[in-house]
């Protein structure tokens, strides 16, 4: 039975962020995820979670300067100190919130770079992930990497599922896992049923959204009922983050859950 978590960055946008925890709980969710917590003191976030009776299952490391277009630091040569400072900040938040998983964003390939930049970024990425995995292991935390499609984030360094699997194997850390976003994976690679079967052993978190428009997963290219049933069949017991942009009011669009998986747990 899938365990569904509401992504509060995208869902329940009809209310202020601090009100989304209660809104998610009223809609039936018992877990939440979000992109970044750093605009709020961790004590405030922890109180909102406690008041609503929800747990936080995932958030991202600081991405650099988001407003200037940065989308992660882990693969950027010369930004290692900033990456490590950001990781420590994320770990402090994770410990305050009880968050077990942190998504490490790779970053963008600089436009107009020479042909060797991707390999230099790969070396930086591997080094940073090895360091972060060791730090996270001491804190009993899991770190995740996620291939992201180049339509949503042009120039993102990590796009393909196999590339992420190769990185995880090279790092070789027991707490480095795959953030398997079925929306991104369908756009870039497809063959989702077989990928779920092959990748379940390294998957630490799953996310879903409708393809191609990233709305509720109730139409378009994916059969969400089939994919959730496949996750059950292969023995995936982790969380499934609902990382989509509702077409209208969030709660009005939640009918897809009962239709796709009557046994789904929030």
Please say whether the beta carbons of 139 and 102 come within 8 A: no
Spatial distance between the Cα atoms of 237 and 5, rounded to a whole number of angstroms? 13
Element of type H or E holding 179: strand 176-181
The distance in angstroms from the start CA to the end CA of the chain is 10
Q: In the chain, what's the furthest Cα-to-Cα distance?
A: 52
Q: Is the dihedral of CA 132, 134, 139, 144 positive or negative?
A: positive
Q: Report residue 132 as tokens.
A: 């972060």
Active-site amino acid positions: 146, 243
Is the CA virtual torsion 246, 247, 251, 257 positive or negative? negative
d(CA 33, CA 94): 12
**DSSP state, 61?**
P
Q: How far apart are CA 43 and CA 54, in angstroms?
A: 15
Structure tokens belonging to residue 227: 């994919």
């Amino acid at each position: 039975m899938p365990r569904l978590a509401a992504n509060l960055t995208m869902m329940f946008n009809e209310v202020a962020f601090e009100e989304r925890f209660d809104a998610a709980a009223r809609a039936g969710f018992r877990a939440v995820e979000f992109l970044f917590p750093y605009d709020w003191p961790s004590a405030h976030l922890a109180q909102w979670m406690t008041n609503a009776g929800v747990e936080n299952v995932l958030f991202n490391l600081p991405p650099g300067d988001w407003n200037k277009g940065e989308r992660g630091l882990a693969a950027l040569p010369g930004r290692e100190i900033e990456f490590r400072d950001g990781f420590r900040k994320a770990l402090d938040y994770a410990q305050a919130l009880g968050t077990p998983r942190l998504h490490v964003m790779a970053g963008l390939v600089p436009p107009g770079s020479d042909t060797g930049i991707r390999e230099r970024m790969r070396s930086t990425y591997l080094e940073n992930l090895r360091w972060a995995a060791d730090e996270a292991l001491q804190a009993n935390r899991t770190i995740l990497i996620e291939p992201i499609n180049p339509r949503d984030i042009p120039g993102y360094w990590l796009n393909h599922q196999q590339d992420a699997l190769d990185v995880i194997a090279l790092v070789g850390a027991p707490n480095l896992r795959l953030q398997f976003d079925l929306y991104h994976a369908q756009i870039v690679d497809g063959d989702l049923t077989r990928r779920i079967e092959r990748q379940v052993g390294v998957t630490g978190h799953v996310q879903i959204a409708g393809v191609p428009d990233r709305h509720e997963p109730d139409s378009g290219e994916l059969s969400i009922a089939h994919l959730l049933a496949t996750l059950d069949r292969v023995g995936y017991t982790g969380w499934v983050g609902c990382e989509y942009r509702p077409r209208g009011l969030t709660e009005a669009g939640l009918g897809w859950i009962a239709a796709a998986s009557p046994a789904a747990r929030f």
